[in-house]
Amino acid sequence: MTITRRNFLKGVAGGGLLLATGVPPARARVSTELPPQAVGLLYDATLCIGCKSCMVNCKVHNSVPGGALYKKGMKSPPYESKGLQGSDGIWDAPRELSGKTLNIIKAYRNGTAEKKDTAINGYAFFKQQCLHCISPACVSVCPAGAFRKDPENGSVYYLADRCIGCRYCQLACPFGVPRYEWDSAWPEVRKCQLCRHRYAEGKYSACAEFCPTGATIFGKVTDLREEAKRRLMLKPGTLYDFPVQTVTSRERTRREIAAYVDGVYGLNEVGGTQNLMLSGVSFELLGFSRNIPRFDLPSLTWAYIAKILWILGGVFVGGTAIHAVTHRKEKGA
C-alpha cells in the first residue's frame, strides 16, 4: 500500500485538529474570585513605629522547614549584614526586598520630618512585601507552574522544584515583589508566602504576631476589608480600639484615628489583593506606583492564548486547502 499525497494531507489536517482539540481544557483561567477562606494582612502605616520587629521575626520564622526562606542545611537565617560599617556581621540590615528578605519597613521623610504621617515636613513608615493578588500575574506567567495560589486560603506560594529560573514572574509582578537569589548557582525566587507553613500549628503570619502596635494584623480578607473601611469612615481624631495581632483579637490598643489618604490600597489594584494597606501619606509618595491597572492582569495574556487553537486549526485547514488548489495541476504527476 502506498500513501498518496492526498491521503497523507488528510491525515495531517485531521491529526492537527485532533491535537488542537485534544488538549485538556483544564482549569484554564486564573480565577478572579476571592477564595472562600482567604486570609491576608492589613498594614496601617499610621500605627507603625518602625521597630522592624516584623522583619526580624519574618526572617526567623521563615528559616525553618516549610518556611519561604528555608534551605536544606541552613544554620542561621539568611542575614544581610554585608556592607554595614562596624557591624561585624552582627546586624541584619537589608535595604531592599531581596532573595534573603521577604518583608521590609522603609521610612519616608520630607523637609524637617517633624510630624508623623504627613507628606510635607513629615515622615512615615511603610511596608513592602507580596500583596497576594486575587489574580496573581506571577501564577499566570510561570511556564512550569512553580507559582501557585492556594485554592482555600489564597496565599501565593512557590515550588522551587518546578522553577526553571526564567524570571518572568519578576517582570510580570506589577509591584516588583519576587526577588532572585542572584548570588546562587542554583537560585530560587523568594517572596512572602504569608507564613502558610504556620497555619497547621494554629499560628499565623509572623509579622502580625510580633507587631507590638497592631500596625500589621492578620485575618480573613472579608474581615480586614471591613476593618479598613471602618477606620476610613471614622473622623480623624476619634478614639478607636485598634485590634492587635489579628483582626478578631480581644487585645486592643486605644488610639486616635489618623487622617487617611487615598483609601484602602489593595481593594481594586490589579483586581484586588489579599493584603491591604492604609496610610496617612499618599501611596504614590511612598513608592507604590500609581500606574497599576484596576483589573486582573492575567486576562491580558489570556485574551491572546485563547486564540491559539483557532489559529492552529485555521492554518492547518487553510494551508491544506491552498495546497490542494495550487497543486491541482500536478495531481497525476
Partner 1 sequence: MRDMTQYIGPRLGGVANKLLDDSVSARLGIRMATPFTLVLCALIGLAAVVAVYRLLFGIGAASNLNDFWPWGLWIGFDVLGGVAMAAGAFLIAGAVHILNWKKYRCIVRASILNAFFGYLLAAISITLDVGRSFVIWHPLVMWQINSVMFIVALHLVLYLSTLATESSPMVFEKLGWQRTLDFVNRFMVGAVIFGVALSLLHQSSLGANYLIVPGKLSPLWYNKLLPYNFLVSAIMLGLAIVSFETLLTGKVFRHRVPREVVEGLARGMMFVGAFYLVMKVWHLVTGPGIGAALDGSFLGNLYLIEMTVGVIMPLAMLSFRSVRTNLERIFAVDILVILGVLLNRMNVGIFGVSEYATRAGGDYFPSLMEIVLTVGMIAFAILGFKVCAKYLPLFPEEGHH
Which CB, 85 or 326, lies closer to partner 1? 326
DSSP β-ladder status, 252-256 and 239-243: antiparallel
Q: Which helix (H) or strand (E) holds 60?
A: helix 53-62
Task: Decide: residue 199, CB within 10 A, 0-12 exposed, 13-18 middle, 19+ buried.
Answer: middle
CB of 33 to partner 1, least distance (A): 16
Instruction: Give the residue among 287, 92, 76 at the shortest CA–CA distance from 176.
Output: 287
**Which residue bears the cell 512572602?**
192
User: Which lies closer to partner 1 via its Cβ, residue 109 or residue 162?
Assistant: 162
208-213 long-range CB contacts below 8 Å, 24 or more apart? 208/41, 208/54, 208/245, 208/246, 209/57, 209/245, 210/53, 210/54, 210/56, 210/57, 211/53, 211/54, 211/244, 211/245, 212/49, 212/51, 212/53, 212/244, 213/47, 213/48, 213/49, 213/244, 213/253
**Shortest Å distance, C-beta 228 to partner 1:** 23
Nearer Cβ to partner 1 (32/112): 32
Taking the complex as a whole, how short is the minimal distance between the CB of residue 255 and partner 1, in angstroms? Answer: 33
- To partner 1, the closest distance from the beta carbon of 270 in angstroms equals 9
Which residue, 90 or 305, has its beta carbon nearer to partner 1?
A: 305
- Minimum CB separation of residue 7 from partner 1 in Å reads 11
Q: Which is nearer to partner 1, 252 or 307 (CB)?
A: 307
Of 120 and 322, nearer to partner 1 (C-beta) is 322
State how far the Cα of 106 lies from the Cα of 97, in Å rounded to an integer.
10
CB of 266 to partner 1, least distance (A): 15
Distance CA 178, CA 200 (A): 25
Q: Which is nearer to partner 1, 142 or 192 (CB)?
A: 142
Please state the closest distance from residue 69 (CB atom) to partner 1, in A: 16
Q: Which three cell numbers stand for residue 216?
A: 500589621
Q: Which residues bind to partner 1, rule: CB under 8 A?
A: 3, 5, 8-9, 12, 16, 23, 26, 28-30, 96-98, 137, 139-145, 162-168, 170-172, 174, 176, 179-187, 289, 291-293, 297-298, 300-305, 308, 311-312, 315-316, 319-320, 322-323, 326-327
